[in-house]
């Protein structure tokens, strides 16, 4: 036989053999999966499984199948769904065995690059160790003035939309909140003034890039979006705004690197021990990274510091604006609670409170806790097992054979779905009124909530374990500053029927949209009027 023919045939045979092996694996997967005996919803199709249903069905599924069951992912793969607090504690506190899945890492890295949310192992621990000082209570205390200043500017921004100050104005809250939180994270994050709330300012290059990164992928067909994430080679296809996303990333990189270099020069000039008038997070991070007490091999490179900039922007911008929008939505559904909160805010004699004064308002604390419990900005998270493991259950689950299981065997490669929303709204944890906005529940927290492995307020909102949200204090104080200022200035009433407002998960975040105008994207229209006090 011609050796040239053999040499040309061999690679083709290898590729064919590999594809055949993968197809056989996929076909046999349902019969060999370690989760095959668990109950779960009927798969609507082999290719996509429950990929389209998983966002929005978690509460319904837990009502039907209990806290622990399986659902189908791509190509018939089994995914473990568990709202069992003991199981979640086990998974979240073992960051070596349970890591972020490749697909989710690609989703996040498409937006924020290779920052803290997507790193693993020693790299993650090193980044977090250097970043921790920038997010401590003392640092957030220094940023409270920025939160209040921009909250006041938001009131002025909305006030300009009134035709008659004595009447109500219909205002889309999400638009103004998004501008305000972007201004805040610009100043508090890296001393950059976006000027979004300034009507006379022109849109800048970085603002446009951020809009493309955060919202540009929403028009991409879901199937193509998932395939592109599973098979990165498809990103080379310029369809579906791929080119725009790459250009936006380049803008972010170029501007961000300039900011990082400027911070390094400023810190070097002043000295590590010097007192800088700049208290933004990036300056604090740079100073902590340049501290002589930090070993050289533990320091972050310029690229690693740069990777945290879009992380700051995502966490401090979109997350906070949506969380505050949902808080105002909840307050608009119960005017008695809104009035009670307003009176407490007026109990302080100042319009410019310190962080400690904001934290001294108990009902404001309860409102923020209840809103973030009921409306967490992120609906779910995921982990993948890097090795075979046994997951203990606090409450035995009944499998498809009718047998009670007090632990689950998971094999390497199994995905675990962490249902933040389902845990936060669990009737087994919070009682029969778990779906009701009731801030007073925080006066007597159920004993069952003490077992929730979250890092804040017995909820999963900021996750838990070694990968919990590092910036939770920043978010909480910013929301408190916003609500404090807004309650003292405006009254809020929904401009549409309550059932017209629904959740839509886009780019990982839960955003409010209207059933009657879903094609118009995220919005939250309210009837807003000035507070009248005698």
Binding residues for heme: 469
Q: d(Cα 394, Cα 202) in Å, to the nearest integer?
A: 55
Output the known binding site.
469
- C-beta of residue 52 within 8 angstroms of C-beta of residue 62: no
Q: d(Cα 53, Cα 433) in Å, to the nearest integer?
A: 25
Q: What SS3 state is found at 360?
A: coil
Kindly report each contact of residues 355-362 with a partner whose C-beta sits within 8 Å and lies 24 or more positions away, as own/partner: 355/137, 355/140, 355/141, 355/144, 355/477, 356/141, 358/144, 358/477, 358/480, 358/481, 358/484, 359/480, 361/480, 361/484
Q: What SS3 state is found at 148?
A: helix
Residue tagged 């997350």 (tokens): 319
Q: d(Cα 265, Cα 278) in Å, to the nearest integer?
A: 13
Q: How many CB atoms lie within 10 A of CB 108?
A: 20
> Of all helices (H) and strands (E), which one includes residue 373?
helix 362-374
Residue tagged 């094609």 (tokens): 519
57, two tokens: 């069905």
Residues 6+ apart with CB under 8 A from 261: 302
13, two tokens: 């045979």
The distance in angstroms from the start CA to the end CA of the chain is: 101
Q: d(Cα 214, Cα 433) in Å, to the nearest integer?
A: 34
Cα within 13 Å of Cα(416), Cβ side:
33
Q: d(Cα 115, Cα 313) in Å, to the nearest integer?
A: 11
3-state secondary structure 384-414: EECCCEEEEEEEEEECCCCCEEEEEEECCCC
Give, as one character, the DSSP assignment of residue 117: T
Among candidate residues 217, 508, 215, the one with its CA nearest the CA of residue 380? 508
Q: Is 393 left (phi over 0), alpha (psi -120 to 50) or beta?
A: beta
- C-beta of residue 482 within 8 angstroms of C-beta of residue 340: no
Q: d(Cα 251, Cα 367) in Å, to the nearest integer?
A: 39
- C-beta of residue 183 within 8 angstroms of C-beta of residue 149: no
């Amino acid at each position: 036989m011609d050796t040239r023919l053999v040499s040309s045939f061999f690679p083709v045979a290898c590729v064919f053999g590999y594809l055949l092996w993968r197809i056989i694996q996929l076909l046999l997967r349902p019969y060999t999966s370690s989760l095959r005996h668990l109950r779960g919803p009927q798969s609507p199709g082999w290719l996509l499984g429950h990929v389209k249903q998983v966002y929005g069905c978690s509460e319904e599924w837990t009502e039907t199948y209990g806290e622990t069951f399986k659902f189908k992912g791509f190509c018939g793969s089994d995914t473990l769904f568990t709202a069992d607090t003991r199981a979640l504690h086990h998974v979240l506190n073992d960051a070596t065995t349970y890591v972020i899945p490749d697909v989710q890492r690609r989703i996040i890295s498409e937006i924020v690059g290779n920052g803290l949310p997507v790193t693993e192992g020693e790299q993650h621990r090193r980044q977090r160790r250097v970043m921790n000082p920038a997010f401590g209570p003392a640092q957030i205390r220094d940023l409270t003035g920025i939160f209040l200043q921009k909250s006041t500017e938001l009131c002025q921004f909305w006030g300009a939309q009134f035709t008659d100050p004595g009447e109500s104005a219909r205002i889309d809250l999400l638009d103004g909140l998004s501008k305000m939180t972007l201004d805040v994270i610009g100043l508090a994050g890296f001393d950059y003034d976006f000027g979004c709330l300034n009507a006379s300012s022109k849109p800048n290059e970085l603002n446009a890039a951020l809009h493309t990164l955060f919202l540009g992928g929403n028009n991409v067909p879901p199937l193509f979006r998932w395939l592109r994430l599973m098979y990165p080679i498809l990103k080379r296809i310029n369809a579906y705004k791929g080119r725009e996303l790459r250009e936006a990333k380049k803008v972010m990189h170029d501007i961000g690197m300039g900011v990082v270099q400027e911070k390094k020069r400023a810190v070097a000039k002043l000295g590590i021990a010097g007192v800088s008038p700049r208290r933004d997070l990036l300056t604090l991070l740079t100073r902590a990274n340049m501290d002589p007490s930090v070993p050289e091999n533990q320091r972050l490179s310029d690229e690693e510091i740069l990777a945290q900039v879009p992380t700051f922007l995502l966490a401090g911008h979109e997350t906070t604006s949506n969380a505050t929008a949902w808080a105002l939505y909840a307050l608009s559904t119960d005017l008695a609670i809104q009035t009670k909160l307003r009176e407490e805010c007026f109990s302080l004699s100042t319009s410019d409170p310190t962080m400690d004064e904001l934290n001294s308002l108990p009902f404001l604390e309860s409102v923020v806790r209840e809103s973030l419990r009921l409306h967490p900005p992120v609906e779910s998270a995921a982990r993948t097992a890097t090795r075979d493991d046994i997951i203990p259950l606090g409450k035995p689950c009944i499998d498809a054979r009718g047998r009670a299981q007090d632990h689950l065997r998971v094999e390497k490669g199994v995905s675990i779905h962490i249902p933040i929303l389902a845990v936060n709204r669990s009737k087994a944890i919070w009682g029969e009124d778990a779906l009701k906005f009731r801030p007073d529940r925080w006066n007597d927290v159920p004993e069952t909530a003490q077992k929730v492995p979250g890092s804040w307020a017995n909820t999963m909102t900021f996750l838990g374990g070694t990968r919990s949200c590092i910036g939770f204090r920043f978010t909480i104080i910013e929301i408190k500053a916003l609500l404090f200022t807004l309650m003292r200035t405006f009254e809020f009433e929904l401009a549409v029927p309550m059932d017209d407002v629904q959740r839509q998960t886009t780019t990982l975040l839960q955003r409010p949209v209207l059933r009657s105008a879903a094609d118009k994207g995220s919005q939250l229209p309210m009837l807003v009027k000035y507070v009248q006090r005698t």
